[in-house]
């Protein structure tokens, strides 16, 4: 697609429920990232995919968080047993390759605002 | 420790005045440096980037930034601010920062710019 698409744009869920957040990256972008942005904070890294595999998941806060990218394109961030502290904007970004001359950084989606009540 | 710092949480300037937003980084090598802007309810948009070469880089919307190795800074500037520039601005460093095995973007906490008419 023309840009990074994230759905839904807003999600309200009850504490303890399971949620899935979807990210559709720019076509051809091999790298995909998930970030979490809490109110008044900068985005914080969660997980990075290169192709289908999670190359770095060091930012996932605990084992309630999981993400997949089975075909190397669309990714889903899954949160089990949601807690009120999970409320944040979840941002997805994609890029073509990693670093090097001409590297353009990431293209971000508009995010999914998750509210746990 | 490797980090990105934006010392100013909130800045207010009058329309037409000049602007400088501060960013300091701590990183072992010369990093890739970025400035992003985020308008309310929007994703992050890339303003400019620095990899190497000329330390003064030009970006979109009339913004520029200067890399100063001796000061570990990458401050964002604009000669004349427009009301539409009101937004949140994030400095980011691309590299191996924190835990994990992959280079990634690490963001500062952001500076909120308010423009008065």
Strands A65-68 and A75-79: antiparallel
The position carrying tokens 């835990």 is B99
Burial (CB count within 10 angstroms: exposed 0-12, middle 13-18, buried 19+), residue A95: buried
Residues B70 and A61: their CA atoms lie apart, in Å, by 35
pLDDT of residue B7: 96
Chain B closest-CA separation from residue A99 CA (Å) = 8
pLDDT above 90 coverage of chain B, percent: 73
pLDDT of residue B78: 98
Segment A52-60 mean pLDDT: 91
Contact state of B104 with A43 under an 8 Å Cβ cutoff = no
A:B CB pairs within 8 Å: 76
Q: Among A41-55, A94-108, B73-87, whose mean pLDDT is lowest?
A: A94-108
Is some CB atom of chain B closer than 8 A to the CB atom of A18? Answer: no
Angle at alpha carbon of residue B80, lines to B77 and B86, rounded to 5°:
75
Are A11 and A113 within 8 A, CB to CB? yes
pLDDT of residue A92: 96
Higher pLDDT, A17 or B40: A17
Is some CB atom of chain A closer than 8 A to the CB atom of B3? Answer: no
Contact state of B43 with A110 under an 8 Å Cβ cutoff = yes
Residues B6 and A112: their CA atoms lie apart, in Å, by 25
The dihedral built from the CA positions of residue A50, B96, A37 and A47, taken in this order, carries a sign that is positive
Residues B103 and B8: their CA atoms lie apart, in Å, by 26
Three-class SS of B49-96: EECCCCCEEECHHHCEEEEEHHHCEEEEEECCCCHHHCEEEEEEEEEC
Residues B95 and B67: their CA atoms lie apart, in Å, by 16
pLDDT band at B26; cut points 50, 70, 90: confident
Contact state of B109 with A106 under an 8 Å Cβ cutoff = no
Q: Tokens for B51?
A: 């990899």
Segment B50-72 mean pLDDT: 93
Q: What are the CA-CA distances from residue B71 to residues B11, B25, B68 (Å)?
A: 21, 9, 5
**Nearest C-alpha in B relative to A38:** B109
Chain B closest-CA separation from residue A12 CA (Å) = 16
Which residues, at least 6 apart from B54, have a Cβ–Cβ distance to it below 8 Å? none
Residues of A whose CB is below 8 A from B106: 45
Residues of B whose CB is below 8 A from A104: 46, 49
Q: Closest to B34 (Cβ–Cβ): which among A4, A55, A105?
A: A105
Residues A76 and B19: their CA atoms lie apart, in Å, by 39
Residues B73 and B64: their CA atoms lie apart, in Å, by 13
Is some CB atom of chain B closer than 8 A to the CB atom of A53? Answer: no
Contact state of B44 with A43 under an 8 Å Cβ cutoff = yes
């Amino acid at each position: 697609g023309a840009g990074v698409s994230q759905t839904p744009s807003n999600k309200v869920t009850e504490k303890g429920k399971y949620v899935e957040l979807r990210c559709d990256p720019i076509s051809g972008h091999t790298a995909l990232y998930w970030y979490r942005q809490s109110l008044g904070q900068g985005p914080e890294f969660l997980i990075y995919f290169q192709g289908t595999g999670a190359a770095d998941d060091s930012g996932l806060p605990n084992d309630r968080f999981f993400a997949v990218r089975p075909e190397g394109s669309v990714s889903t961030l899954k949160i089990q047993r949601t807690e009120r502290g999970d409320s944040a904007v979840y941002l997805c970004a994609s890029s073509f390759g990693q670093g090097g001359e001409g590297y353009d950084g990431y293209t971000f989606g508009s995010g999914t605002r998750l509210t746990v009540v | 420790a490797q980090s990105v710092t934006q010392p100013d949480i909130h800045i207010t300037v009058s329309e037409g005045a000049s602007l400088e937003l501060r960013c300091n980084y701590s990183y072992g090598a010369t990093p890739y440096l970025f400035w992003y802007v985020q308008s309310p309810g929007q994703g992050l948009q890339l303003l400019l980037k620095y990899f190497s070469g000329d330390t003064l880089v030009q970006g979109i919307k009339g913004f520029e930034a200067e890399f100063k190795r001796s000061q570990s800074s990458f401050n964002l500037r604009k000669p004349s601010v427009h009301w539409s520039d009101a937004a949140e601005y994030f400095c980011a460093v691309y590299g191996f920062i924190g835990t994990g095995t992959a280079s990634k973007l690490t963001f500062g906490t952001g500076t909120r710019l308010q423009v008065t008419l």
